[in-house]
Amino acid sequence: MTDVEASPTFAALISAFTEADFDQVPKLVQEGLDKGLPARSLLDDGLVAGIREVGEMFRRGEVYLPEMMLAAEAWQAGMDILEPLMKGQSQAEVKGKVVIGTVKGDIHALGKKIVSTMLKTAGFEVIDLGVDVAASRFVTAASDARADVIAVCALMTTTMPQQKQVIEHLVAAGRRSDFFVMVGGASTTPAWATEIGADGHGETAADAVALAEEYVGHHDRS
């Protein structure tokens, strides 16, 4: 099949993402395979291209968290079809691994969910530890996963000090230099990030993705 013959399928897949017609995604993937399109192309030029466009729309304020979450689900449904056909091939390109969580004492999940979903749609593997996460769990989870980035969320002024605890636990474990640590949350500031020894501060979810991308772009994961 030529590129020209294949392009309507890719365009339809991208459109299914951008038009929020998410149920169509696995059907279109299967149709593409039935037409003889390679699984690799359906992944790169369909699923990945589509979900990245949704991420861009979120940055522009054109869609919101529900569309991002549904897009991530649709992406996974498409991957469930493609993965068995891609054994031996490299899988979807993962930009890097991020361990994310809301600190001990803080049960606010929504901001973290937005960051987590945006990171996924941007091509990161995300290990979400949830809320009320002890400092030591960030260290062990990031170490076990060989993560690149640790994202530490805190909404309240009285839970921000726990972000510092995460840094101190990393230092105590001798792992501080192994991870890029970024902090975020309504009350946090760049000055706070500097004060506690974090590597970056994300005011918005898009900032967090940009920070993670910049870091992995300059560091060899091997």
* Cα–Cα distance, 101 to 75 (Å, whole number): 23
Nearer to another protein, 57 or 170 (CB): 57
Tell me the closest approach of the beta carbon of residue 24 to another protein, in angstroms: 16
* Member of 77, 156, 173, 210 binding another protein (CB under 8 A): 156
> Within 10 A of 119 (CB to CB), how many other CB atoms are there?
26
**Radius of gyration (Cα) for the chain, nearest Å?**
19
Q: From 162, 166, 159, select the one nearest 138 (Cα to Cα).
A: 166
Element (H, E) at 208: helix 205-218
Q: From 161, 166, 185, select the one nearest 176 (Cα to Cα).
A: 166
Binding segment for another protein (CB under 8 A), chosen from 6-14, 44-52, 119-127, 159-167, is: 159-167
Tell me the closest approach of the beta carbon of residue 58 to another protein, in angstroms: 8
Most distant pair of Cα atoms in the chain: their distance: 60
Contact status: 197 vs another protein (CB under 8 A): no
* Member of 193, 205, 209, 212 binding another protein (CB under 8 A): 205
* Member of 28, 159, 170, 184 binding another protein (CB under 8 A): 159
The 5-44 site mask, x for binding another protein (CB under 8 A), equals ----------------------------------------
Contact status: 189 vs another protein (CB under 8 A): yes
Tell me the closest approach of the beta carbon of residue 22 to another protein, in angstroms: 11
* Cα–Cα distance, 128 to 113 (Å, whole number): 9
Tell me the closest approach of the beta carbon of residue 86 to another protein, in angstroms: 25
The 59-98 site mask, x for binding another protein (CB under 8 A), equals --x--xxxx-xx--x-------------------------
* Cα–Cα distance, 116 to 103 (Å, whole number): 15
The sign of the CA dihedral 66, 69, 72, 78 is: negative
* Cα–Cα distance, 120 to 106 (Å, whole number): 23
Nearer to another protein, 61 or 88 (CB): 61
* Cα–Cα distance, 208 to 14 (Å, whole number): 25
| Site for another protein, rule CB under 8 A | 61, 64-67, 69-70, 73, 104-111, 113-114, 131, 156-159, 161-162, 186-189, 204-205
